[in-house]
Amino acid sequence: MLTAFAILTDGLVYAAYLFLVAVGLSLIFGVMKILNVTHGSFYAFGAYGSAVAVGIYFERGLPAAGGFLLMILVAMAIGLILGLVLERGLLRLVYGKDEIVVVLVTYAAFLILEDVIRLIWGAGSYALYQPLGAAGTIDVGALVLSGYDIGLVALAGLIALGASFAIKHTRWGRLLTVVIFDREVAAAFGINVSAVYTFTFIVGAMLGALGGAVMAPKIAVTLGIGVEVIVLAFAVVAIGGMGSVGGALIGALLVGECRAAAVHLMPQVELFVIYAVMALVLAFRPQGLFTHAQPRKI
């Protein structure tokens, strides 16, 4: 019984992690059709920035609540700067080229940023452990849940709700939907697609950095953390469908619960789970779970 509950909660926590990491990528891909490999760099920069800035904050003994707020602010600042620099400085130059060329540009940027991280923060690892302790624990029988994990799930839920609301009920959201559906028609209607692109990329960057910032207290922030995250994010986005926040959420939940079940019940297959889920979903719904059916263009 406790195991079932543990699987449920563990799945939710892992899903929250996946969702936070993947939602930014999904947005960018949905709108700009770019498979943004630099997403891993946003995550890493967010983590490093958070570890350093929030670490200093907690060293000064300031109240914990402010620390959590600082984490979010740092992530947004990093996302803004990086997103702006990349989009305006680099992606501008390759819009309109073959999609795979754009992917390669983001891959090149990723390689460069990996070593920029090394340049700025060195090869050592950073630890930001204070938020974990500050968040406390909840006991459920023999199982101890970390308050921080619960907070992560709440944050993921908030972002999912916020993003869905924004997309359905704000002007930017509606512009986004139109551009996702058909870029050319949107431009024909006078929508400034270029501005939408920039805005979306920055939002995506902020979300990616946020993912890294909130994960920083749980992991050791060191070189290479961006690499693993890329494939995970891609897989979740492929499962859920491009550009769909709901899709990213469902995809994350699916993978999260399957993986939690695997760890508890059949640890041998844990390595395959995410790829097996992806293969299965794609086998039955080749466009991912939530992509709108695209009319075939002749």
Partner 1 sequence: MTTMLRPLVIGTLAFLLVAGLAPAFPVWIVSLATLAFANALVVLGLIILWRAGLVPFGQALFYAIGAYAVALITRYTGVRDVFVLIAAGAVLSCLAAFLAGLLLARYREIFFSMLSLAMSMILYGVLVKTETLGSTDGFGVEPPTYFGYAPQGAMQLLVLFWLVLAFGAAAALLVFLYFRSVAGSLAVPVRDSEIRLEFLGVSVNRLIHLNLMIAGILAGIGGALAALSIEHVDPNMAYWTTSGGFVFVTILAGAGSVAAAFVGSFLFELLKSIAYDILPGAWQFFLGAVLLITILFLPEGIGSVFARLRRQKPQSTGATP
Partner 2 sequence: MRQRAYPPTFVLAAGLSLGLSLLAAGGARAQEPAAAIKIGFVTFLSGPAAAPFGIPDHNAAEMLVEKLNAGQVPAPYNTVGLGGTRIEGKFVDEAGSVADVVTQFRNLVERDHVDVVVGYVSSGNCLAITPVAEELKQLTVLDICGTTRIFEEKPRHYVFRVNAHATMDNVSAAKYALSKFKDISIYSGINQNYAWGQDSWRDFRLAMKNLDAKATIDKELFPKLFAGEYGAEISTLLTSNAQFIHSSFYDGDLEAFIYQSAARGLPQRIPLVLTTGESSLWRLGAKLPDGAIIGARGPHTFFAHDSELNTWFHKSYVDRFKEQPIYPAYDLAQSLFGLKTAWEKAQAKKGGARPTTEEVIAAFEGISFPTPSTMVQMALGNGHQGLSDTAVGTYKFDKAEGKPEIVDIVRYPAQCVNPPADVDSVPWLEGGMKGAKCD
Residues that bind partner 1 (CB under 8 A): 29, 35, 90, 93-94, 96-98, 100-101, 104-105, 107-112, 114-116, 118-119, 123, 227, 231, 234-235, 238, 242, 268, 271-272, 275-276, 278-279, 282-283, 286-288, 296, 298
Q: Is the dihedral of CA 62, 68, 70, 74 positive or negative?
A: positive
Rounded Cα distance, 77 and 296, in Å? 41
Rounded Cα distance, 168 and 239, in Å? 22
Residue from the set 52, 220, 276, 282 that interacts with partner 2 by CB under 8 A: 220
- Does 123 contact partner 2 by CB under 8 A? yes
Hey, what are 108's tokens? 């090149």
First to last CA, the chain: 55
Q: DSSP letter string over 201-251? A: HHHHHHHHHHHHHHHTTTS-B-TTHHHHHHHHHHHHHHHH-TT-HHHHHHH
Binding mask 267-296 for partner 2 (x = CB under 8 A): xx-xx-------------------------
Judged by CB under 8 A, the stretch of 64-72, 94-102, 138-146, 169-177 that binds partner 2 is: 138-146
- Whether residue 197 contacts residue 82, with contact meaning beta carbons closer than 8 Å, is answered with no
Hey, what are 14's tokens? 């892992």
Residue from the set 77, 90, 94, 146 that interacts with partner 2 by CB under 8 A: 146
Find the DSSP H helices in 170-224: 171-181, 183-188, 193-215
Judged by CB under 8 A, the stretch of 85-93, 125-133, 244-252, 280-288 that binds partner 2 is: 125-133
- Does 217 contact partner 2 by CB under 8 A? yes
Judged by CB under 8 A, the stretch of 49-57, 85-93, 132-140, 169-177 that binds partner 2 is: 132-140
- Does 258 contact partner 2 by CB under 8 A? no
Minimum CB distance to partner 2, residue 195 (Å) = 36
Minimum CB distance to partner 2, residue 36 (Å) = 21
- Whether residue 149 contacts residue 157, with contact meaning beta carbons closer than 8 Å, is answered with no
**Residue 296's CB: how many other CB atoms inside 10 A?**
5
Nearer to partner 2, 166 or 223 (CB): 223
SS3 139: strand
Judge residue 246's burial from the number of C-beta atoms within 10 Å of its C-beta, 0-12 exposed, 13-18 middle, 19 or more buried: middle
111 binds, among partner 1, partner 2, none (CB under 5 to 8 A by kind): partner 1
Collect all residues with Cβ–Cβ distance below 8 Å to 17 and sequence separation of at least 6.
152, 211, 215, 256
* Residue numbers 15-54 binding partner 2 by CB under 8 A: 17
- Whether residue 16 contacts residue 156, with contact meaning beta carbons closer than 8 Å, is answered with yes
59 binds, among partner 2, partner 1, none (CB under 5 to 8 A by kind): none
The contact set with partner 2 (CB under 8 A) reads 2-3, 6-7, 9-11, 13-14, 17, 114-115, 118, 123-125, 127, 129, 132-133, 135, 137, 142-146, 148-149, 215, 217-220, 222-225, 228, 259-260, 263-264, 267-268, 270-271
